[in-house]
Amino acid sequence: MPMSPRLTHALESHIALVGFMGAGKTMLGSDLALALGRTFVDVDAEIEREAGTSITDIFGSRGESEFRVLEERRIREALATCEPAVIALGGGALGAAATRKALSERAFTILVEVDVEKAWRRVASAGDRPLARDVAAFRRLFEERLPVYRDCADAACSDLESAILAAGGVEVAPGALARLSELTPGEGKAGLVMDENVARLYGAAAEKALAGRLISAHELAAGEEAKSFASFQRLLEELPLERGDLIVALGGGCTTDVGGFAAATYMRGIGWLSAPTTLVGQVDAGIGGKTAINTRSGKNLVGAFHWPLRVVADPDLLATLPEKERREGMAELVKTGLLAGKSLWELPDAEMVRGCAVHKLTICLRDPNEKSERATLNLGHTFAHALEVAGAYGSPTHGEAVALGLVAALRLSIERGLDPVWLDEVEKVLAPRPVAVDRDLAWAALFRDKKVVGGTPKFVLLEAPGKPVWGVELSEDEVRRTLDALIADS
């Protein structure tokens, strides 16, 4: 659908739902506000509440022009509030130039799409719409308003999941790599950052897709080596970008981590697009704006929260993943499924990626800087990062470490009442094996973790699938015993 977006996500903005009568904006808006922890404002309902009568009565007694004055004022008041809300507008609200201008300045506007025949069936059966008396006139009005909706909208949706994806600036679509230029926001030049493996597989396709926007291309080492200070410094020194340009990070979680952190720091911050190509990237690492590099003493200890202008996830790219790479991503996929309370790992690729993105965005849009519940996304990661540091980021791999970390978290959760069947499921799907790393190094690394507070590590456990608890303190003996069980005897 042709649109000219001003904003690419709703992280710090109101979400305005627009569309024709009968599109379902009220129900969707209520559900979206609940999911994102925001206040919901239904403009029509607010007008009726303040007027003490129905919109039909207002139309009948005062006329449509008086209703539009009330509507414009109420929208302006809703947009003037500081705390981002979800605001559902009436079908004719965009007829006012002042409203269109206010939306462009204060809101991320989502068009709630609906077929005209479905809209007619909904409103005709209700019988309470003053502009829905005649089906032919209803269709003409739909065709008249549709271009205005599209011109004002930053994104479009048809249900709650697509609304959450739109609000987070995430596009999950087979074939999206070929549309990279279309999906890259703004008009500035793009610096393409890839690891050496992705450059070999998709570099030519990405450069072709970005034709006209591409100013430079940069290769990183594959894997955790890309997240070193030396690699990061080299990238910064090579970038030829200006403040209005952006970085396109195409690759796995290491590439999006480094590319995003470069964008967060280069010229004190420029925009970036995350284009994850691996399973771990598409279901987790490429979403949510966490960017970082490693130090010898800790995983991801140097980084920034820097939300990407857009995330472009093409599930078709997963078809070329070697089985080893796919298994790397399965641990993060299983983690998300446990947190969501859904067996996401059993779905086809596109549905699987979409489901993980929706779950992570729902949490990250509520808590972008990990002040509270975003910490749940670290399920298993405190143990995992300790193992990675002890293995010098070589063995175990990130996926292997996360699989073991999940086992540790579930064992601790079972001691507190979790059904053991979920540990059986995780072990069946991931088949983790203890790894040979230095126990003392792993123990020391655990206390350098970002989630340590006052010298005490904090953990995420599960009361049940879909019911995580975070900030859990454990005894030193309990932590040591659990960590030791993950390490093979040398």
Exposed e or buried b for every residue in 36-66, given b needs 16+ CB within 10 A? bebebbbbbebbbeeeeeebeebbeeeeeee
Q: What is the mean pLDDT of residues 375-388?
A: 96
Residues 6+ apart with CB under 8 A from 389: 296, 297, 298, 299, 441, 442, 445, 448
Query: Residue 129 pLDDT more than 80?
Result: no
Query: Residue 396 pLDDT more than 60?
Result: yes
Query: Residue 2 pLDDT more than 60?
Result: no
> Residue 128: its pLDDT value, please?
67
**pLDDT-above-70 percentage for the chain:** 98
If phi > 0 it is left, if psi is from -120 to 50 it is alpha, else beta; for residue 222 that is beta
CATH 1.20.1090.10 boundaries in the chain = 373-484
pLDDT in tens, 4-36: 457 999 999 999 999 999 999 999 999 999 999
CATH 3.40.50.300 boundaries in the chain = 14-159
Exposed e or buried b for every residue in 267-285, given b needs 16+ CB within 10 A? eeebbbbbbbbbbbbbbbb
Q: What is the mean pLDDT of residues 260-289?
A: 97
Report the mean per-residue pLDDT for the chain. 95
Asked if residues 309 and 188 have their Cβ atoms less than 8 Å apart, the reply is no
CATH 3.40.50.1970 boundaries in the chain = 171-321
Query: Residue 3 pLDDT more than 70?
Result: no
> Residue 489: its pLDDT value, please?
86
Residues 6+ apart with CB under 8 A from 366: 36, 37, 373, 374
> Residue 1: its pLDDT value, please?
36
Question: What CATH number does the domain located at 373-484 have?
Answer: 1.20.1090.10
Closest to 394 (Cα-Cα) out of 228, 261, 259: 228
Tokens of 38: 């925001």
Q: What is the mean pLDDT of residues 449-463?
A: 92
Query: Residue 127 pLDDT more than 70?
Result: no
**pLDDT-above-90 percentage for the chain:** 89
Alpha-carbon separation of residue 151 from 1, 11, 43, 94 (angstroms): 10, 21, 21, 10
Query: Residue 393 pLDDT more than 70?
Result: yes
Query: Residue 105 pLDDT more than 90?
Result: yes
Residue 222 has what DSSP assignment? S
Q: What is the topology classification, in CATH, of domain 14-159? A: Rossmann fold (3.40.50)
Closest to 311 (Cα-Cα) out of 130, 146, 109, 164: 164
Closest to 376 (Cα-Cα) out of 305, 288, 299, 254: 288
Q: What is the topology classification, in CATH, of domain 171-321? A: Rossmann fold (3.40.50)
> Residue 55: its pLDDT value, please?
86
Q: What is the mean pLDDT of residues 57-70?
A: 89
What's the CA gap between 267 and 19, in Å, rounded?
A: 39
> Residue 490: its pLDDT value, please?
67
What's the CA gap between 450 and 382, in Å, rounded?
A: 9
Q: How confident is the model at residue 441 (pLDDT cuts 50, 70, 90)?
A: very high
Closest to 470 (Cα-Cα) out of 363, 389, 398: 363
Q: How confident is the model at residue 343 (pLDDT cuts 50, 70, 90)?
A: very high
Tokens of 273: 């697009």
What's the CA gap between 356 and 337, in Å, rounded?
A: 7
Alpha-carbon separation of residue 212 from 204, 207, 208, 239, 263 (angstroms): 14, 9, 9, 17, 21
Which residue's structure tokens are 């143990």?
383
